[in-house]
Structure 1
Amino acid sequence: MADDGGAKRLKKTSQDGVAIAEVTELRRRVEELRIRNAELESENERLRSDQRGRRREEGNHEVLPAVMTVTVTVDLSRVDTDLITHITSFLGTPRELLDLALTCKSFGWRQPATAFNWSLVEEVARQTVFSRATDAEMGCLPRYVRGVATWLSILHGHEHLLTFDVLLGSNIEHQNGDKTTIYGTGDNESSVAVSCGYVMTSGSHYAEFQISGSSPFIGIVRPMPGLDASAYKEEEFDFIGLFNFFPDFLAQRSDEWGDGNVHACEYNCGDGQKFWTDWEIGHAEWENWEGMEYCETGDTIGMLLNLVEGTLTVYKNNRRLGVMKDGLSGSYCWHAGVGQDGDTVTISKARIPTMAPSSPN
């Protein structure tokens, strides 16, 4: 029995030793983990500290994600030309079409495969001109000549058909460099501007004139491209009231004038009267006419020159006043004049009003 007790004690002692050894090993591993954990916490704290420092230096900006740019190349020669032409037609203005032509050679270079050997942009400009310009306007535009006039330049000309190209007299200027607007710079001394780049020889032509002041006058006059504008810069100027200028005007006569004797005709904004002359010395007519009305600042005067019927019809704020002058034939240009400091006139293209005639106020 004594031996059995000793064996039990030996077995228990052996088990206790194993348990102690296991506990010791566990404690060692726990200590290693504790030390490693402390090291990791220290490293994390250092990293956090470094990050806070960088944020202070960089103004606390967040780091932006990296963006990769992928360039995609499209072979425009594979795209249907008719489709591009149709889409491009919605651009509309010469400036936009020119920008497109500069984008790539597929748009701006000549296309040998086309019937006329010009660029896609030129073809769009040509189509735009023919779709927008009336027959009468086409007659006022330059013709396409390779190397001289492009379709882009012709389209630009159509958009700027009505400008006051020539100033005559000492008291008139363009407003802020805008050739569509003139204003007076003197008192009781008339000066005149002419839209000489738009010569009307046939058909119907309509223009509107926005008025400021009570002294402007607007109307039609014979084209005189050889008239020396600089010769009249220092004095008052008028197409109708200054008889001493009539010989200068008649010296400019051409076959375009035809056989008609109405060489200048004006609507006076101050009282609505019409003035006209055949430039014979001493002849100028100041007349009332049916439908006559005066206008004032803010009014818009429309003028319809019908060279088929030979009439000049006047509109006021889109309301037809009536035919101011008949018996017209030959070629004419629009003109406008100012007589007082601050008088202004702006010329613009417009559609002929379709409203029925109204009785005067």
Structure 2
Amino acid sequence: MADDGRAKRLKPSEDGTATIVQQKRRIAELESENAQLRIGTLAANQEVAQLRGRVVGLQSEIEILRRHGQAEGNHDVLPVVMTAIVDLSRIDTGVIAQISSFLASSRELLNLALTCKSFGWRQPMSTLNWSLVEEVARQSVCSRATDDEMGCLPQNVRGTATWLSILHRHEHPLLFDVLLGGYIEHRNGDKTAVCEIGGNYWESVAVSSSHVMSSGAHYAEFLISGAPYIGIVRPMPGLDAGEYQGNFSFIGVDDNLYPDFRAQRSDEWGDSEVHACEYFCDDGKMSFTDWENDEIDIEWEGRESCQSGDTVGMLLDLEQGTLSVYKNNRRIGVMKTGLSGPYCWHASLVNRPSGTDVVSIKRGTLPVSDGATTT
């Protein structure tokens, strides 16, 4: 057959047509995804811009606060602004008492009482007989004190001794914080113990002046070595210990000192003329004075001597006006009556050829097996 000069046209196959359709469809999908990504990128850029604006705003606020703190002289602490007032009357007192009980000391409770009336004053609508702080102090004392110690507390706490002051007393040990005379010192720096130093038969005195007993019952124990005198004496905070560097005693040694003692008298001493009273551990006799006249080495019912290593207990009961003596946890009797007004514990020490006097003091647990009673 002869060539007519015309090119032959090829007929596309069905497979080629399907491939072209799929490619076009994929291109459309990619273009759609690309458009969505562009939209997402635009939204992200807008969010980033907003965040950058927020950061700039926060930095500006920080700078203002920092300048304010510097103007107040504090470069480290930013000022705190109270924006609300809490009505404590709407909060159950038991809840506040529970929270307040976590305060560690009477000093912290006192600071709490001074913050506002809701803590330091008795509230008219409260079921407590005293302030919130007093109730917390009472609970703290009850959790720490033994039954015997609780029995020694004043009957009428309010008006004579607050629960806060009683808690303060329980937190601090008895100390010989005042030394009078030139022949006495704290043993090894321990203020609960004193020893005599110096020449033969020179006498000096240690006083627990920070523990003033004005009401209720008070029990202390004295561990002795030698033959000291142990007893009570009027508080005399104005007495200058530095003025007395020689032989010193509250009873009988040098009555030239008595005018100094009488000059310390206050109305709180009351009517009792017993200003100092001592138990002599060597023979068990008793002496007392009004700093006008002395009564020395008096016999009394229950008198017993003591020796080194014995523990002498003393119970001052200002409700009954008595001073009782105990020996190694055994009550030997009431040594003196007619006592009133404030007193402090004291120990009078003498350096003898037979040995040096040493006395330590501590709060004790009142023995009750012998039927002794307290207020």
TM, length-normalised to structure 1: 0.60
CA distance in 2, matches of 1:244, 1:113: 52
Give the Cα separation in 1 of the matches to 2:242 and 2:370. Answer: 44
Of 299, 302, 326 in structure 2, the residue corresponding to residue 315 of structure 1 is 326
* Equivalent AA in structure 2 for residue 255 of structure 1: D
Q: Match of 1:116?
A: 119
Aligned runs of 1:31-46 on 2, under 5 Å?
A: none
SS in structure 2 of the partner of residue 286 of structure 1: strand
Distance 1:348 1:289, change over 3 A: same
The 2-side partners of 1:165 and 1:189 are apart by 20
Q: Report how many aligned residue pairs link the two structures.
A: 257
CA RMSD of aligned residues (A): 3.8
Cα distance in 2 for residues equivalent to 1:278 and 1:169: 21
Query: Partner residue of 2:281?
Result: 269
Q: Matches of 1:196 and 1:156 in 2, distance apart? A: 15
Is the Cα–Cα contact under 8 Å of residues 219 and 366 in structure 2 kept in the other structure? yes
1:356 aligns with 2:370: yes
> For structure 2, which runs of at least 5 residues remain unmatched after alignment?
1-92, 121-131
Structure 2 Cα separation of the partners of residues 140 and 336 of structure 1: 31
Per-residue CA distance 1:303-339 (angstroms, 9 max, x = gap): 1111122111111001111111112122211111110
Question: How has the CA–CA distance of structure 1 residues 121 and 323 changed in structure 2, closer, same or farther, with 3 Å as cutoff?
Answer: closer
Deviation at 1:125, TM superposition (A): 5.9
Residue 135 of structure 1 corresponds to which residue in structure 2?
A: 154
Which one-letter code corresponds to 2:154 in the other structure? D
For 1:208 and 1:296, the matched residues in 2 are separated by: 15
Kindly report which structure 2 residues correspond to 1:56-67, keeping only aligned pairs within 5 A, or say none. none
Counterpart in the other structure of 1:238: 249
Q: Residue 178 of structure 1 is aligned with which of 180, 190, 206? A: 190
> Secondary structure in 2 aligned to 1:248?
helix
Q: How much has 1:255 moved relative to structure 2?
A: 0.8
CA distance in 1, matches of 2:116, 2:291: 56
- Alignment-derived partner of residue 329 in structure 1: 340
| TM-score normalised by structure 2 residue count | 0.58
State the alpha-carbon separation in 2 of the partners of residues 231 and 295 from structure 1: 33
Q: Which residue of 2 aligns with 1:344?
A: 358
Letter in 2 for 1:354: V
CA contact (8 A) 2:183 2:202 kept: yes
Using the alignment, how far apart are the partners of 2:159 and 2:230 within structure 1? 20
Cα displacement string for residues 38-61 of structure 1 (whole angstroms, at most 9, x for unaligned residues) = xxxxxxxxxxxxxxxxxxxxxxxx
Q: Give the structure 2 partner of residue 201 of structure 1.
A: 214
Q: How do 1:244-283 residues align onto structure 2 when only pairs under 5 Å count?
A: 244-280=256-292, 283=294
In structure 1, runs of 5+ residues without a counterpart are 1-80, 102-107, 145-150
Query: What is the percent sequence identity of the aligned residues?
Result: 55
Question: Aligned letter for 1:312?
Answer: L
